[in-house]
Amino acid sequence: MRTAFKTWSVCLLLLAAVMLVIGPVAVNAETPKRGGDLVAGYGQFPRHFNHAIQSGAATATPGTQIFASLVEINQKWQPVPYLAKSWEVSADKLTYTFHLVKNATFHDGTPVTSEDVAFSFEIVKKNHSFGPSMLGPVDRVETPDKYTVVFKLSKPHPALFLVLSPPLLPILPKHIYNEEENGPIRKNPANIKPVGSGPFKLVEFKPGDYFVLERYDKFFRPGRPYLDRMIGRKIKDPSANFIALKKGDFHMALFNSGLRLKQVEALKKMKHLVVTSRGYEGIAAIYFLEFNLRKDKFKDVRVRQAIAHAIDKNFITQKLHYGYSKPATGPIHSSFPWYTDNVTLYDYNLKKANQLLDDAGYPRKANGIRFSATIDWYPGEPDSMDTIAQYLKPQLKKVGIDVQLRPPADFLSWYKRIAGWQHDMTMSNIYSWGDPMIGVHRLYLCNNQKHVVWTNTSGYCNPELDAVMAKAAVETDGAKRKALYVEMQQLLTADVPLIWTHEAPYQSIYNKDLRNVITSIWGSMTPFDKVYWKDGHAPK
């Protein structure tokens, strides 16, 4: 016993000696400094700031700085405290009890309470485009006291923590947004003059031009945020954005911010900038060629398989995208825990494609053409939309398909055509929003064939798949849920109702002197209260 004590004492002395040498460096490499502005260019500029009623990164990116949420999601896909300092989950996974911090206030000084959380839940469920699917399993929200919130579920909801995080469920002040006193929420002036409890408050907004967010000095995390202001400017000319980043006038660009990938490649070589794809794991955007399965020529799976074999995904990702994108193997993004590559893969094989089209009853005519088809796409993402459409025209002609390209006049024109099911094929994409049940199921559910884009506009229906997705939506055992989503991916890739071409080549570009920029799977749609300048101000 005495010998063991001596040995332990020696170990402690050695450890103390080591800590004297390395302690200051290992424990605190850099102390965050307060001060400075962060200027970012926005390719997609917000119309308003209330992402409780509007899905998409354009609204949620500034919105998550203005509004706080119950939890954050870290880079390991784990929930961590935010407005909720702690929580308990019942053994049957049907009751979630959250305990709120007691020092949080909205920007008008009003305390944040459980009533605001319950109110926000109802607003999102009623108004957000994902509201019913995200919050459908929640039967009710109880408020036993000012700082306790209880979510009562009718069935398990394995994605609930993701739903309660910044991009999807902002906590609104009930006294500002309630419809009884303030009218319909979509017409509420607070949508463009928001009042939240996040680290920054809106102080200036010129629609279509710029907005200014300023530090909220009474933010409930002491000492934060570190930045003085966040300024967002609308990017009207990608070339000007490129020059502003080169010169240091812009400190950040998100979701490529209108830049072409060739320009991103040039910026990557500049010593004052960091270019990274980290932070898009939660968004998990996948691009695809959608078939309108109501058209006879696409009802035969062999036709769809043939077109899949005629597309060289490696050419798209390596040559057209300079290696910034990855080939997509199916409906679930490779960043997701439920992803598998054990699926039906369609190698680039023109011989096989031609044979499948022959077998499907579409022989070449005298002019070498089997049939004609149109391809649509929406504007604004040239590298992932029109560049690929332009590639597909000569590529599919190699297997006898005459492609007629229909360049979009504007987004609304594309929207109306696809929502009206008036297309043959279209390039499109989805954000997966952290969990397949939130962002992926919508494309394939039999009962989700709506005249709205980013629903099941292809007209696909497979009852077996619906049953698998229904089980996965309530399965809380991680391994069993993964197995269900593996089955989903295998069913869909065998049926190939869409051709998943690539995972988004999104990059965040920011000045190397900025710290703590990417701390979550949500990237820029997470509070920037931890972000700071190395020297307390932007480089001069």
337-365, pLDDT tens digit by residue? Answer: 999 999 999 999 999 999 999 999 999 99
pLDDT at residue 22, as a whole number: 39
Query: Does pLDDT of 125 surpass 80?
Result: yes
The arrangement of strands across the sheet holding 286-291 comes to: 326-327, 498-503, 286-291, 425-430, 371-376, 401-406
**Tokens 């509420």 sit at which residue?**
188
In the structure encoding, which two tokens stand for residue 356, read together?
């499948």
Alpha helices, DSSP H, located in 178-331: 179-182, 238-247, 261-267, 296-299, 301-309, 313-314
pLDDT at residue 236, as a whole number: 84
CA distance 475 to 471: 6
Q: What is the CA radius of gyration of the chain?
A: 25
Tell me the domains of the chain and their CATH numbers. Answer: 286-503 (3.10.105.10)
- Among candidate residues 483, 449, 445, the one with its CA nearest the CA of residue 464: 445
283-313, pLDDT tens digit by residue? Answer: 999 999 999 999 999 999 999 999 999 999 9
Task: Report the mean per-residue pLDDT for the chain.
Answer: 93
Query: Does pLDDT of 421 surpass 90?
Result: yes
* Rounded alpha-carbon distances, angstroms, from residue 267 to 264, 270, 273, 322, 372: 5, 5, 7, 13, 41
Beta bridge partners of 429: 287
CA distance 163 to 136: 11
Q: What confidence tier does 27 reach under pLDDT thresholds 50, 70, 90?
A: very low
CA torsion 47-51-56-58 (nearest 10°) is: 40
CA distance 250 to 267: 13
* Rounded alpha-carbon distances, angstroms, from residue 138 to 83, 225, 262, 362: 20, 33, 46, 50
Average of per-residue pLDDT across 111-125? 97
Per cent of the chain over pLDDT 90 is: 90
191-224, pLDDT tens digit by residue? Answer: 999 999 999 999 999 999 999 999 999 999 999 9
Q: Judge contact between 297 and 303, C-beta under 8 A.
A: yes
Q: What confidence tier does 44 reach under pLDDT thresholds 50, 70, 90?
A: confident
Query: Where are the strands (E) in 111-226, listed by range?
Result: 138-145, 148-153, 200-206, 210-215
Which has more pLDDT, 464 or 236? 464
* SS3 label, residue 281: coil
CB atoms within 10 A of CB 127: 15
Burial class (CB in 10 A: 0-12, 13-18, 19+), 349: middle
